Amino acid sequence: MYKKRKIKWIRILFPIPFVIGVIGYRMAGYGFSDSLYGSFCYYFVSVYYNLASNYLMEIARWTAPLMTVTGVLYSARLLFKRAGNNITEFKRNSTVIYCDESTSGAARALCDNLENCFIEKVNPSDPVIIHRNAKNQILFLKDDTANLNFHGRFKDDMEKSQIYIKLELFDSELFASTNVHYIQLTELIAFMFWNKYPILSLDKKDDHEYHIAIIGSNELAQRILIHGLHDNLFFKDQKFIYHIYGESHSLYKDLYSTIALMNGDRVVYEDKEWFESYEEISHMDRVILTEHDNSLTLEKLIYKCGNVPIYYFAQYEANPAQYFRATNIHPFGEMSKVLTKNNILNSKLFEASKDIHFLYVNKNPNLSAAEKEKLKNAEWQKLDGFMQSSYNALASFYYNYIKMYKLGHPLETDLQTLAELEHLRWSRFYFKSFWTYGIPEDGSPRDPEKKIHRALVPYNQLCEEDKDRELKRIQFLIDAYRTNNK
């Protein structure tokens, strides 16, 4: 914003000495044409037209060269920056981030965490420069529509690069197959939340019953709920109750009010507002605040709800809540920790998704490392957005479960029980995407057009073929874990 104001003021101030000079020359008796030429010459320190006979001409005589020097220095700075960007794009692992004024701060935070990275600011009034030789192209404009439109306009110019597109509202599982990697920030924040603050880090309960309050009416609240339902599957008899406070998206409210979660878990959309429910919230095992400006909400909960653990979304590390002396509040979602190389370019979750898929489809165990990487990416790009999201969900569950196992939590280890939990996770992913139980007319297990699948029933109602499929999938994940941890 500061830079934009500076450019605006330079443009406003630059012609002022010219106007003052013209008035001064006219006051001194010069003709109109000579006045224009004389004022113009001031910018170039002309010898003949440098004489001043009144105070206006004197002001113009000194300020015009200053404007010239300012313009030259500013133009030189832009040229050097442009030249530097053009050189950087040829470097190894180079990355260009396209952003606008509203996203420049976050883009800069991300760029600072990447090697050989530079920013290309996109302004509606200026021509767009595409750095087609950069290895990575990140589209980080103000909203999903702007990013997708930008990609549609310039995808041919970026075809040699790996493309990353920031999404905030659109769900990438609705998209066709593509080589684009979508950066869904709310999805990433939700995954990181449950990974950093696992539900089993709370006091252990023999009955495995936990109550979690999610306060917020935004997309982040929905993503935290979805990841909670998909990732927090540890015991057959668990009872994880998610209490939702806020004007929730009717899309998911209707969904989770009707589908069966197939175990003791529940989603409860509370009729009362959170500020009418202090007594109930004070007995929760965890409270999650998802709104961007939640300092006042946090303050009231600290006063009213005792020592219940509160987790609040804090986009910036410097926020008012950091001054509270309460020890039961915990921040999450700081952009400096979200926008990192490991989360964006080298996402462990994304790579795990591709690895798991490749283990399913690869029939040649003798591939070299280079051949394996090339074929893995090619096979991944054949998947549409829904199937890519399905593998992402599987990798997220796998990632979370293994972390809890390594931390020594007494999780289920029986193969049959793990298969039942995996079936729960798989079913919830399909339910979330509005699939229902049904038997396709052609006898196949699934019909993507009608969104029906024969296996969307409780585990004990599965046919033997589908039970065997779940057992093989769990055994496959266990073998993959052992292979990767030799």
**What's the distance, CA 319 to chain centroid?**
20
What pLDDT does 245 receive?
A: 93
pLDDT value at residue 190: 94
User: Is the pLDDT assigned to residue 411 strictly greater than 80?
Assistant: no
For the chain, the average pLDDT equals 84
The rounded distance, in Å, linking the Cα atoms of 486 and 483 is 6
Using pLDDT thresholds of 50, 70 and 90, give the confidence band for residue 1.
very low
We find that the CATH architecture of domain 198-313 is 3-Layer(aba) Sandwich (3.40)
Listed by start position, the domains of the chain span: 2-75, 87-184, 198-313, 347-484
Task: Using alpha carbons, list the distances in angstroms from residue 186 to 223, 289, 339, 449.
Answer: 7, 14, 12, 28
Span 262-287, average pLDDT: 92
Mean pLDDT of 334-361: 87
| Closest C-alpha among 234, 238, 191 to residue 211 | 238
Mean pLDDT, to the nearest integer, of 423-433?
92
Assign 208 a pLDDT band (cuts: 50, 70, 90).
confident
- Asked: is 87-184 a CATH 3.40.50 domain? The reply is yes
Q: Beta strand pairing status for 446-447 and 452-453? A: antiparallel
- According to DSSP, the residues that pair with 163 across neighbouring strands are 137
Of the chain, the percentage scoring pLDDT greater than 70 comes to: 89
Residue by residue, DSSP assigns 310-367 as: EEEE-SSSS-GGGG---SSEEEE--HHHHSSHHHHTS-HHHHHHHHHHHHHH---TT-
Digit-coded pLDDT (tens) for 54-96: 777 777 777 877 777 777 776 666 666 666 676 788 888 899 9
Q: Is the pLDDT of residue 281 over 50?
A: yes
Q: Quote the CA–CA distance of 78 and 72 in Å, as a whole number.
A: 10
pLDDT greater than 50 at residue 389: yes
Pair 82, 131: CB distance under 8 Å: no
pLDDT for the residue 339: 92
**For 211-259, how does the pLDDT look when each residue is reduced to its tens digit (9 = 90+)?**
999 999 888 999 999 999 999 998 888 999 999 998 655 667 777 777 7
Question: Which burial class, exposed, middle or buried, applies to 28 when counting CB atoms under 10 A from its CB (0-12, 13-18, 19+)?
Answer: middle
Identical topology for domains 87-184 and 198-313:
yes
Q: What is the pLDDT of residues 283-306, one digit of tens each?
A: 999 999 999 888 888 889 988 988
Read off the pLDDT of residues 162-187 as tens digits, 9 standing for 90 and up: 999 999 888 888 888 677 899 999 99
Residue 2 predicted with pLDDT over 50: no
Mean pLDDT of 430-438: 91
Provide mean pLDDT across the span 106-115. 91
How much is the pLDDT for 35? 80
| pLDDT value at 203 more than 70 | no
> Is 80 exceeded by the pLDDT of residue 46?
no
Across residues 462-467, what is the average pLDDT?
90
Least confident of 11-15, 43-47, 268-272, 373-377: 43-47
Q: What pLDDT does residue 44 have?
A: 76
> What pTM did the predictor assign?
0.81
- Of 212-226, 420-434, 461-475, the one with minimum mean pLDDT is 461-475
